[in-house]
A and B are shown apart, each in its own frame.
Chain A
Amino acid sequence: MSKHDMNQGRTAPRRGAQRHHISFKAKSHGWLRHNRVVALDALRRMFLTPVATLMTLAVLAVSLALPGFLMTAVNNIQQFSQGFDANPRIALYLKTSVSDARAEQFSLELMLNPALSGVELIDREKGLQEFSSYSEFANLLSLFDSNPLPAVVLALPLDHSPHMLQALQSELLALPEVEEAQLDLEWIQRLNAYVVLAQRFSWVLSALLGLAVLLVVGNTLRMLLENRRDEILVAKLVGATDAWVRRPFLYSGFWYGLMGSILAIFMVSFAIHLIDQPVTELMSLYASRFELEGLGFKGGLTLMAVGSTLGLLGGFLSTGHHLREIEPDDR
């Protein structure tokens, strides 16, 4: 008889008590049934000790909510920075003596410049309208007899290398119509660098807090395992495999992780709700219509998947070693 046959529970015909053969199909159904029963039982057992369960879930939720909140914050900053054109552009402020017609002709001439990929003219009238609608200082304009704003030409360079940009900036500044040429790139680059740094930081923190989740689940399940020691001993005595004995604890880990992550989603949502209004007010000061975004459906699902996977993994790691140690004895 091969070892494979033995694993399937088949034995050679023999004299004596009838051994009942169980088909593969029946075994598969049995496996599925056991999973269903054990999953529900693991859930039921959690509610038998509600206070202890809630405490554990709260710790798990905090551990999952912190990285969840950080990730959301980073996503929002990214969203915010994407609102700005990260491509370098040179703003050419024309002299106030330049007429609108000349400004338009000047912008057309610039389009022929091979170093530029595009040109946009914001004439004085349009500049005034934008300033009036977005700026808090719009009322100051009434103090002027005429429009004080110059026409602006936004020039988009083809080559983004720093030295070429600076050379182009100097070249454009030398043109007689141009009062000032501003290369506006550094601050957005700096912001992007901060976003990358924050992203890395949130990954490191997520990894550390993920480890905390593993430890919390592992410790909780070790206690559960000790509480069910007698049951494990009897199950092993009558032929339960390690996988059969481990299954309830894996489901417990899964439920803890899943519920902890659901609680974490509520925590993150609540935190976002708390800071939503101040952020909106702050953004409006900068003439931005940026709106804070929460975890969202995808983020929530990701947090739930991460939480339940960590719970499952915690269950697997913590019970594996202990289950091998628990062996039946007739004492």
Chain B
Amino acid sequence: MAAIQFLNVGKRYSEGHDALIGVDFTLASGEMAFLTGHSGAGKSTLLKLIMLMERASRGHVLVGDEDLGELPRRLVSWHRRRIGVVLQNHQLLFDRSVFANVVMPLEIAGYAPEDAARRVRAALDKVGLLNREKHNPITLSSGEQQRVGIARAIVHKPQVLLADEPTGNLDPELSEGVMRLFEQFNRIGTTVLIASHDLSLIHRMRKRTLVLKNGRLISGV
């Protein structure tokens, strides 16, 4: 079963720039893949289409059996709850603790506090930050902050995990650790798509790699 499908997808921004042109690929459920290409190749745009931060100008983007082009605005939040996302800049809130950051998707989904707390601790345990739950994220290192972001992305056990340059600010050793975490989540069935331009890391992971160049998918189909 396909977790993500791109069928002849194009994205043109209002200023006329074509970010994606005729992109076709399928990511099977439970698969882990990398998305690479030079800066401006369209990696982030592709992830944004999956997250419904943007809508495709042409073609069809399917997540599960849902055509995102036909998904009404009121169901965008429902769609995003099915997906976990890790961003390079972490998008953490520094006015609250690590715990409060990670628990947010569960609060939104309506989990009971006790259940949510148990799941948050399990997620923090997975990323090795159980002892930091009461800390403010601003007191953590960049690598730790990234791991908080990962814990938040996986705490509600999403079907699909997306990561946009998750190791961009990390040294090689931490990058390797983060990738191992993604592998662990993939092993329990989560579909993982990681956008990265770190080719050496991608080679070491030995996973399917989709290569974008000037908005076109040139390899990995």
Q: Which residues of A contact B (CB under 8 A)?
A: 1, 3, 6-7, 9, 11-12, 14-20, 22, 26-27, 29-31, 33-34, 230-231, 233-242, 244, 327-331
Contact = CB atoms under 8 A, between A and B. Distances in A.
A14 B29 contact: yes
A9 B113 CA distance: 19
Contacts of B78: 6-7, 9, 239
Given A15-B30, A34-B110, 6 more contacts: A9-B78, A22-B109, A235-B108, A238-B104, A244-B108, A330-B53
A330 B48 contact: yes
Interface stretch (B13-21, B34-42, B125-133, B156-164): B156-164
Contacts of B111: 22, 26, 30
A27 B89 CA distance: 32
A30 B110 CA distance: 5
B105 A238 contact: yes
Contacts of B66: 6
Contacts of A1: 65
A218 B138 CA distance: 32
Of the four ranges (under 10, 10 to 19, 20 to 34, 35 or more), the interface on chain B belongs to 35 or more
Contact of B91 (A6, A27, A34, A234): A234
A31 B108 CA distance: 9
Interface in B92-134: 92-93, 95, 104-105, 107-113
Interface of B: 1, 3, 29-30, 44, 47-48, 51, 53, 64-66, 72, 74-75, 77-82, 85, 87-89, 91-93, 95, 104-105, 107-113, 152, 156-159, 164, 185, 188-191
Nearest to B154: A17
B191 A34 contact: no
A238 B75 contact: no
Closest 6 CB pairs of A and B: A30-B110, A16-B189, A239-B81, A239-B80, A238-B105, A241-B77
Contacts, number: 121
Nearest to A1: B65
Contact of A230 (B88, B93, B108): B93
B84 to A, nearest CB: 8
A15 B189 contact: yes
A26 B110 contact: yes
Contacts of A9: 78, 81, 109
Residue of A1, A17, A327 contacting most chain B CB atoms (<10 Å): A17
Contacts of B80: 236-239
Nearest to A27: B110
24 contacts: A6-B75, A11-B64, A14-B1, A16-B29, A16-B188, A16-B190, A16-B191, A17-B189, A26-B112, A30-B109, A30-B112, A34-B107, A230-B93, A234-B104, A236-B80, A237-B51, A238-B105, A239-B82, A240-B77, A241-B108, A329-B53, A330-B44, A330-B53, A330-B87
Nearest to B155: A238
B50 to A, nearest CB: 12
B30 A20 contact: no
Given A3-B75, A7-B75, A237 B157 contact: no
Contacts of A244: 77, 108
A221 B157 CA distance: 34
Given A16-B190, A29-B112, A330-B87, A235 B104 contact: yes
A202 B12 CA distance: 56
B91 A233 contact: yes
Contacts of B190: 16-17
A319 to B, nearest CB: 16
Nearest to B92: A234
B39 to A, nearest CB: 13
A239 B77 CA distance: 4
Given A15-B29, A231-B93, A33 B108 contact: no
Contacts of A33: 113
Given A14-B1, A22-B111, A234 B85 contact: no
Contacts of A233: 91
Contacts of B72: 3
Contacts of A242: 77
Nearest to A233: B91
Contacts of A19: 82, 157, 159
Residue of A17, A20, A238, A328 contacting most chain B CB atoms (<10 Å): A238
